Amino acid sequence: MASPQPSSSTAPLAQDPAPVGRRRLGIRGELLLALLPTITTLLMLALVEAYSHQRLLFASLASSAFLIYLDPQHNTNSVRTLLIAQLSAAAAGFGFHYLLGPGYVSAALAMVTVIGLMIGFDATHPPAVSTALSFAFQGGKESNLLLFLIAVGLVAMLVGMQRGSIYVLRRLTRGLSGVPSSSTLHR
């Protein structure tokens, strides 16, 4: 029996120079790389607090931001995976809350649904499970449409942050490989 191929959303990207994880940077590099998710998380906190007081939604997206910091080149943190997982999680939680009201049945169905969708679409992003639970438990406290639009906006911010993190990581690790970058060659 052939062993199954690893799921692309749970495997490092093909262009990842260190498939077992990224190389640890010096303190300055780690702090610089952590700056984008920290700023994004603080902006999310301000946005969520200003419009919805839905703190559980903020918590799951903050987890997404720091997963991106941990390994921005991993497929779990890709633009495609983030969008599919987080948006389907919000939709599942919203839908079950709307159909069944808040509670454990809505939460359980939303969680099982989003896990199935992540597996089915090969878009595994664990914080999305928290997003589904958040919407299932508390989707009725504010305007459901507003919560969904905020979630879409926050995911869009995370996508931009993911791209920025990859750019910063590549610039910081360029000199670590021992091969001079084209920018250092032209100085």
pLDDT in tens, 37-87: 788 778 777 776 776 666 666 678 778 877 877 777 788 888 788 889 988
Residue 51 maps to a domain: yes
- The answer to whether residue 5 scores a pLDDT higher than 50 is no
- The answer to whether residue 170 scores a pLDDT higher than 60 is yes
Q: Give the residue numbers spanning the domain of 155.
A: 25-173
pTM over 0.85: no
* Distance separating alpha carbons of residues 134 and 149, to the nearest angstrom: 15
Residue 1 maps to a domain: no
pLDDT of residue 186: 37
Total domains in the fold of the chain: 1
82, exposed or middle or buried, with CB in 10 Å at 0-12, 13-18, 19+? buried
Q: Where are the alpha helices (DSSP H) in 27-124?
A: 27-51, 55-70, 79-100, 104-120
